[in-house]
Amino acid sequence: MYGNLQKQNKQIAEIFMKNKRLIYILAPLVLLIWGLIFYKIFTHFGDDQNKTMVNPDQTNTNKKQLPRDTFTIIANYRDPFLGRNNQPALHSSQDHILNNQTGLSRKPTPAPEIIPEIKYCGIIANPKNKRKVGLLRMNNKELLVKEGDSYNELKIIRLFNDSVKIMYNKTKKTFKKNNIKN
């Protein structure tokens, strides 16, 4: 048994002797690579004495002073989340000052009444108690409504078999039944 261990140790030593040339080549290469890594780290975090400071006042001397750009946003497009047109914004005091400087005066126009998207889907009548329930789709939300019900600014005035009469912010309107295949 002791003889087998000596043979194995001898074989291991021969393998290392064959690869000794390879160790002489790889060891300096590893040291070189790690040296470059440490060099990059230390030069990056090194002292900042050689860096020049730039005075911000010197950089702005060549730029021209441009007048402030004024604009208004006209957002009269359909809101993709609410499904209705946006309300126009109130005029700002800056807009009023600009108009007074030019001699023009602009009166704010009242916003037109925007009724939400409403579809009347039909009516369900209970023959026992003669109660009518209508099905409305308002802004892609389905509502079960009765005559006299109110939802936000919407009030149901009358339910018919083919239409519904509503009042929205003191504006009366009638919607006909839609044939929806959903």
Q: Which pLDDT tens digit goes with each residue over 141-150?
A: 888 889 888 8
Domain-wise residue ranges, the chain: 2-44, 69-112, 118-176
Q: Cα separation of 42 and 156, whole Å?
A: 77
Q: Is a pLDDT exceeding 70 seen at residue 115? A: yes
Across residues 156-164, what is the average pLDDT?
A: 90
Quick one: which of 161, 60, 168, 166 has its CA closest to 114? 168
Position with higher pLDDT, 41 vs 7? 41
Q: What is the mean pLDDT of the chain?
A: 76
Q: What is the tens place of the pLDDT at every residue in 29-60?
A: 999 999 999 999 988 887 656 555 656 555 55
Q: Cα separation of 84 and 78, whole Å?
A: 5
Percent of the residues in the chain that have a pLDDT greater than 90, as a whole number: 10
Across residues 5-23, what is the average pLDDT?
A: 75
Across residues 156-171, what is the average pLDDT?
A: 88
Confidence tier at 182 by pLDDT (50, 70, 90): very low
Q: What class, spelled out in words, does domain 118-176 have in CATH?
A: mainly beta
Q: pTM, whole model, 2 decimals?
A: 0.37
pLDDT at 2: 64
Q: Is a pLDDT exceeding 50 seen at residue 81? A: yes
**List of residues 6+ apart from 79 with CB closer than 8 A:** 85, 86
Across residues 166-176, what is the average pLDDT?
A: 88
Confidence tier at 104 by pLDDT (50, 70, 90): low
Tell me the CA distances in angstroms from 27 to 12, 34, 40, one per residue in order: 20, 11, 20
pLDDT at 44: 84
pLDDT at 19: 74
